[in-house]
Amino acid sequence: MQAERVDLSRLNEENRLTLSLNGQLDAEIVTDSGKRIRLSETRTVWWRRPRLPDAPTEQRVGEISEFVRSEWEHFIEGLEGFANVRWVNLPSSNRLAARKGIQLAAAHKLGLRIPRTIVTNDAQRVREFADEGYALVYKRIGSAPRPLTATKDLLPSDLERLHVLTACPAIFQEKIEARLDIRVTAIGPDLYAAEIDSQSGSSPLDWRFDHSVPFRPHRLDQEVEYRLKALLERLGLFYGAIDLRLTPEGEYVFLEINPSGQYLFVELLSGIPLTERMAEYLSG
């Protein structure tokens, strides 16, 4: 079986894409080597963090820049309508499921425990939330890989600078004490869980900043596994990286799911053969 990697950010260089409706729907990509890839002859597309092409230097200002970016965005996001393939994940599902508000609401409706949460740009609402007496943390809403920002404790000094929320909203949540953090990699119908001994390291609140702690395979509670699979189905995902916290009392708490999350570091640190499983799933 042959695989091709296509960088959509280079469509304004040597790569080309054509969506055609001429008797039948089809999409064709021409790579920088001149190879033609017809999606009607393709089995599976792994939709992995595509980037839009950068506008030429002379177009990176004002309305022209916005117009060019919008045209690229509408062009590339229309691709799924012209390609009758198996998507991992369908671009529209990927985009929608990445929205924290949507995934948290879906997880709550399916019976997963989530932290008490507000997503807001209203400083007064945050102060009222803090007055309820819970220890709180705050973090970004989006999931873009850069810049990497840490989840942080909401300190009394932070309450004095909440006026900045007017310009940029954030998530504020009840702080969940942990015995372990759990990273679950969903590949097709299967879930592969790794436990992270985050509390023994230098970044107990956000384990992403300390990979020196032990990573081990973890057996999920069956009821939690069932609800996570229901969440993936509700969001239309076949792949995703799920973050949970396991409390000292043994309760699983859902934090978030990243439809394009990384998994290789989990494999290297835990020994779970995720690359092999992903290759098997993509090859059908």
Helix (H, G, I), strand (E, B) or coil at 2: coil
The predicted pLDDT at position 159 comes to 92
User: β-pairing, 36-38 with 25-30?
Assistant: antiparallel
Q: Lowest mean pLDDT: which of 61-75, 154-168, 197-211?
A: 61-75
Residue pLDDT, tens place only, 230-282: 999 999 999 999 999 999 999 999 999 999 999 999 999 999 999 999 999 99
Task: Return the CATH architecture of domain 177-282.
Answer: 2-Layer Sandwich (3.30)
Residue 253: strand, helix, or coil: strand
Residue ranges per domain, the chain?
Answer: 8-88, 116-174, 177-282
> How many Å separate Cα 196 from the centre of its chain?
19
* Measured distance CA(173)–CA(126) in Å, rounded: 10
Per-residue confidence (pLDDT) for residue 58, from 0 to 100:
64
Local confidence band at 53 (pLDDT 50, 70, 90 cut-offs) = confident
In this chain, the answer to whether the domains covering 116-174 and 177-282 adopt an identical fold is: no
pLDDT at 203: 93
What confidence tier does 83 reach under pLDDT thresholds 50, 70, 90? Answer: confident
% of residues, the chain, pLDDT over 70 = 96
Q: Could you tell me which residue, 49 or 215, shows the higher pLDDT?
A: 215
Q: How far is Cα 253 from Cα 84, in angstroms, rounded to an integer?
A: 37
- The CATH architecture annotation of domain 116-174 reads 2-Layer Sandwich (3.30)
